[in-house]
Chain A
Amino acid sequence: MKSKNARGHSAGAFKALSAAALAIPGIVSQVQAAAPVAEAELDYKASAYREADIEGSKLAAGSASRYEIDTHQLRFISPLGRASDLAVDLSYETMSGASPWFIMPGTGGGKPVQVMSGASIEEERKDIQTSIGHYFSQKVSAKVLLGFSTENDYQAVNMGVEASIEIPARELTVTAGIGFSDDEIEPTDPGMPDRIDSATRTSTTAFVAIAQVLNNRTAVQGGLTLVNNDGYLSDPYKKVWREDLSNTVADKRPNERQQVIASARLRHYVPSLRGALHVDYRFFDDDWDVSSHTVDLAWYQNIGDNWQLTPSLRYYGQSQAYFYGPFFYSARDDGYASSDYRLSPYGALSFRLRLERNWGEFSANFEWESYRAAANLAPDDVSVENPGLVEFDILSLGLNFHL
């Protein structure tokens, strides 16, 4: 059969044949399309989190040693029937140590100093998160999430739904979801003066994310999340020093908090180096005046056939909440006050190193993280650094089994 434009006909021939070949179910693995997990997997991770002692010059009273958390995590994922899958995440933590209580002005006009709580807190946290995903087609899937969390003084239930739609013609995936969490706080030592007996708060989240494949080795994702918190948002264990009273008052924060988070991430593989670059950026903004930037860079280097070494660096910088101060001379008009370092202006740098060894059906990994927060790392100038800024190291060991 001859055609006038033989060249056009044959170029189309390759496309036509390829398209027909790829439509055969047995030919190419459908892994890139929305699909349930292919096989069951069990992951375990043990982590030891240790905060550095607070510097002597920053400590007013109380324990210098800070928080220690040991965590055990277990994750089980499995296909469920032909078009669904299940994920169960269990977490068990034991926490002990002292935490920042309130801040006092420095003696002789020096820098403010931290009063720590006594090192007698020992707590347990148990958390279970489950999700079931269903794949209606290669393009559409949905997930339902349900979780419970309990600590000595705290209980929470959370639930959510997510849906995902793929548009193969444009190599685009759109994901959206909503989540809801209901928390109850019953502080230990409720007998302490001006400490609340119990309180509740709720949290509602909505997000949308769009992922785009740029070429055969690059993918990007942009996301927007809105969070609304309602209820008791203060920290029942923290106080604020009031010069005019020569005494402390309870940490008091607004009853509502609205947050917006915009995020972007990139995954780029470099075949000649056998490594992948991860770049993550997050912009956070809320109506407490806190706004922050987070940049996370990681390089996944494959070594030989069985090893992977991943160094990574994270920078975080935040501004302060409008009702924050290391201490106060007098009450604010709105009655809010907090000296929590987590609402102070500061920046933090964290360096991580992860090493993984793969044996096929089984792999093990070891990770170390070192994190340091400091006012001079903040994006804006900070006149007074919060003495309670934290430094910590985390060591973790993980095991992964294909079942």
Chain B
Amino acid sequence: MADIQLFLFPFTAMASPCELRLYAHSQGVAEQTAEAAIAEINRIEVKYSRYREDSVLSAINRAAGGDALAIDSETFALLKYADSAYQESGGLFDISSGVLRRAWNFKSGEVPSKSDIAALLSVLGWPKVELSEGEVRLSRRGMELDFGGFGKEYAVDAAARVCAELGIHHGLIDLGGDIRVLGPHPDGSAWQIGIRDPLQPNKAKLVLPLKSGALASSGDYERCMVVAGKRYSHILDPRSGWPVQNTFRSLSVVAPLCLLAGTAATVGLLKGAQSAPAWLSELGMPHYWIDAGGVDGGDLAALRP
């Protein structure tokens, strides 16, 4: 009968490299738990994937401009969350803004025209989504919802719930950098989580010790377009349809749930380097940013060696 050991389960999901690190008394228990957690992640991916015709999300999008569609309690609660995030972010967190990708093709190197953007703005905007108990309706044809902004973070929290229910209280879930800690190492010590330096991707700019809670990061350094000397970030402001100007290269937020951390990181990035610090401080979530010039800040910066 073994003492508690660490088992690692790398896998791919939501187009990201993922890993479960679980402490368990036996390989059998760890494998069973990993299987259940990965099954839950896959369930959420399939249910809310933009790319699958049979997903609930695609059904909602196909019904745009038509009749209201009946939705279950999980979908309804997720949309209520998106609504809450829209309200609390002043309209910056908007899951109906995915249609902007039709105009912004970062591979092409072409900047869209003002009329292209105006046309998309007419089929975009959370207030155009009619949400009532058990039903949702996208009021204009061509509208689309996209869970890309919070689906992965939700899956992290759901996987954590599965692990906790199966008795795993020490471990960590990592879905492509969105992390939720199940509990510290069995000796009580914290997980040392490295936050990547955008300019030196193989080095950690900061190592964050976490015993519980979640970490999510948003970044602007991975995808962008430079046209005629001007840098266009892939972080698009849903209110204008244009990329956000002057924002951080990367922003990491710590919160009790990965969903909350992810929303704060996304909104922080959209608020931009000027307004985000005050908003994040008042929100009360520990955070760390690195700006375009490589300067870092935020209350977690104190942990830098």
Instruction: Name A residues whose Cβ lies closer than 8 Å to a Cβ of B.
Output: 1, 6-7, 9-14, 16-21, 23-29, 31, 38, 304-306, 358-361
Contact = CB atoms under 8 A, between A and B. Distances in A.
A21 B83 CA distance: 11
Contact of B88 (A17, A24, A25): A17
B278 interface: yes
Nearest to B167: A360
B176 to A, nearest CB: 19
Interface in B254-292: 256-257, 259-260, 263, 278-279, 282-285
The B contact surface, by secondary structure, is helix
Please indicate which of the listed interface residues B24, B44, B74, B78 has the most CB atoms of chain A within 10 Å of its own CB: B78
8 contacts: A10-B283, A13-B282, A14-B284, A20-B77, A24-B81, A27-B158, A305-B25, A360-B25
B222 interface: no
B196 interface: no
A13 B3 CA distance: 43
Given A17-B85, A17-B88, A305 B3 contact: yes
The 8 A-B pairs at the shortest CB distance, nearest first, are namely: A10-B282, A1-B90, A20-B84, A13-B88, A360-B25, A24-B77, A26-B158, A20-B81
Contacts of A27: 154, 157-158, 161, 257, 259
A23 B260 CA distance: 13
Given A11-B282, A21-B260, A359-B1, 15 more contacts: A10-B284, A12-B88, A13-B88, A14-B260, A18-B260, A20-B77, A20-B83, A24-B81, A26-B154, A26-B161, A29-B164, A305-B4, A306-B25, A360-B26, A360-B29
Interface in B24-77: 24-26, 29, 40, 44, 73-74, 77
B75 to A, nearest CB: 10
A13 B263 CA distance: 12
Interface in B150-200: 154, 157-158, 161, 164-165, 167, 186
Contacts of B73: 25
A363 to B, nearest CB: 11
A29 B81 contact: no
A26 B74 contact: yes
B74 A24 contact: yes
Interface of B: 1, 3-4, 24-26, 29, 40, 44, 73-74, 77-78, 80-81, 83-85, 87-88, 90-91, 154, 157-158, 161, 164-165, 167, 186, 256-257, 259-260, 263, 278-279, 282-285
B161 A359 contact: no
A10 B279 contact: yes
Given A10-B283, A361-B29, A16 B84 contact: yes
A1 B271 CA distance: 11
A305 B90 contact: no
A306 B284 CA distance: 37
B260 A29 contact: no
Contacts of A358: 25
A34 B298 CA distance: 41
A234 to B, nearest CB: 51
Contacts of A29: 161, 164-165
Contacts of A18: 256-257, 260
A269 to B, nearest CB: 14
Nearest to B89: A13
A17 B78 CA distance: 11
A25 B279 contact: no
A18 B214 CA distance: 13
A266 to B, nearest CB: 24
Please indicate which of the listed interface residues A6, A10, A31, A359 has the most CB atoms of chain B within 10 Å of its own CB: A10
Contacts of A12: 88
Nearest to B278: A6
B77 A23 contact: yes
Nearest to A304: B3
Given A10-B282, A360-B29, A20 B90 contact: no
B78 to A, nearest CB: 6
A23 B74 CA distance: 9
A20 B80 CA distance: 7
B24 to A, nearest CB: 7
Nearest to A271: B188
Please indicate which of the listed interface residues A7, A10, A21, A360 has the most CB atoms of chain B within 10 Å of its own CB: A21
A7 B284 CA distance: 11
Contacts of A31: 165
A3 B73 CA distance: 33
Given A16-B84, A24-B154, A27-B154, A360 B24 contact: yes
Contact of B74 (A17, A25, A361): A25
A31 B162 CA distance: 12
Contacts of A20: 77, 80-81, 83-85
Contacts of B78: 24
